[in-house]
Every structure is written in structure tokens, then in C-alpha cells.
Structure 1
Amino acid sequence: MSDKKSLMLGLRTTIYMVSDIVEGTEWYSKAFNTEPYFNEPFYVGFNIGGYELGLQSEERDIDSKTENVFSYWGVNDIQEAYQHLINLGATEHEAPNNVGDDIMVASLYDPWKNIIGIIYNPHFKL
């Protein structure tokens, strides 16, 4: 290994594209149980445990989205977090499952077809 520090410092921001930023702001405020710290028509920013969840407007039809990069948000109880998002209208992408070493992951589609990943990882420490 090199003595150089990594150029990458870790997750800072995850941005989800939504067709209605006002509706998206309301939904994500409920989903993450927090209000945005930055709220403008072009961008809404939430502080989630020291990390940025951003919303931006898009004109694209939500049915034309493809699965690509998504992030996992840490949770203490994956079943509770998963059900909370389902109750708000999210739909299943991947049901909660154990991926080994007591780590649980799941993912859901928000109403705009973005994928929200959630993870319970008892080994992750900030």
C-alpha cells in the first residue's frame, strides 16, 4: 500500500431526482423524519446523520429511469425502517436480507423511481 492518503473521503451527498420538488420535499421530510436545511426551487438539502441527501427537479418520465448508482443509508432496525418507507408509498426493490456477518440490506423505490438503499451494519463506526 502507498503512504498517500486516499483522494476519496467517503459519502458526502446523495442526490435523488424528482419530478415535483415540493412533493418530493414533503415525502423525504416524512421518510427521514427531518426538515431540509436548504430549500430552494432548484435544490433541497437534508442533513441525514452528517451526510447530505439532496433533491433536484427533473423533467424525465419516472418510468424511463434505469437502475444505476444508489446509496445505502444506515439504520438501527432495518425491518422498522423498511416498513416505514413502505407505509409512505415506497415500493420494494429488494426485501431486507442478511448479506453475511450480521449485515442486513434492503432497497426500495421512492415515488419517483429512485432507489433508496438502507443498511444495518453493526461493524460500521464513524
Structure 2
Amino acid sequence: MTAADTIIFPVSDLGAAKGVFTTLLGAEPHTDEPYYVGFNVDGQEIALDPNGRRKGLTGPVPFWKVDDLEASSAALVAAGASVVQQPTDVGGGRRTTVVADADGNQLGLMQD
């Protein structure tokens, strides 16, 4: 795997978070929808998810792109991780899952 491609922040007030991140990143979002706001700064994807907490996200979650979501998730579980979010189709042909390490740190996987 390479470095995390996307970091998703669960937010409760999407409008307020969008204002803060637009100012912080010095960039307008490339995607601005009621269910997702996405920024790309120097190749790093930063996303705001107003449904993140409902999905089990407890804070910012880095997501790595993988070729096989199920196999990668299974390998992490075999290494001691626990599943936080089962594989989910999030649209556009993309699927994601979230696992947590033994300390509760959440790690996301995504497959296009």
C-alpha cells in the first residue's frame, strides 16, 4: 500500500465545516453535495462526511486505495483489527470499509 489517499472527517454541521476547511486549505471544494464535500490539495483528498458518525467514524479516518477490498480487510482482521463498517457501496463504483486497530484507531480501505 501507498500513503493514505483520502482523509474523511465526520462532521455534524457540514456548512460550518466547509467554511473552516475552505479557509484552512485555501481552496474551494471540487465536490459540494449535501452528503459529501471534497477538497483536493496537492493530490491529497480531504473529505467532509455529515453521516460519518452514524457510520461509526469517531474522528478523522485515513483511507487507502486497495485492489481487493475483502482480501485487504480480511488480512487486517487476521492481524488483529476489528470491523467498524462493513464493505459499503458509496456510489460511482467505489466501495469502502473501516476497521480499527487494537487501540481503536480507525483505518479505511477503498476500492474503485
Q: Under a length normalisation based on structure 2, what TM-score does the superposition of the two structures give?
A: 0.51
- Within a 5 Å distance, the mapping from 1:64-103 to structure 2 comes to 67-103=58-94
When Rg is computed on C-alpha atoms for both structures, the one with the higher figure is: 1
Q: CA deviation at 1:73?
A: 0.4
Structure 2: tracts of 5 or more residues without a match: 1-25, 28-39, 46-56
Alignment size in residue pairs: 64
Q: Percent identity?
A: 20
Higher relative contact order (CA 8 A, sep 6+): 2
Q: Which protein is richer in strand relative to its size?
A: 2
> Alpha carbon RMSD of aligned pairs, Å?
2.4
CA distance in 1, matches of 2:87, 2:75: 13
Give the structure-1-normalised TM-score. 0.46
The match for 1:9 is 42
Superposed structure 1 runs of 4+ greater than 2 Å apart: 5-8
CA drift of 1:11 comes to 2.9
Counterpart residue identity of residue 101, structure 1: G
Unaligned residue ranges in structure 1 (runs of 5+): 13-65, 122-126
Q: Secondary structure at the match of 2:60?
A: coil
The AA in structure 1 aligned to 2:97 is A
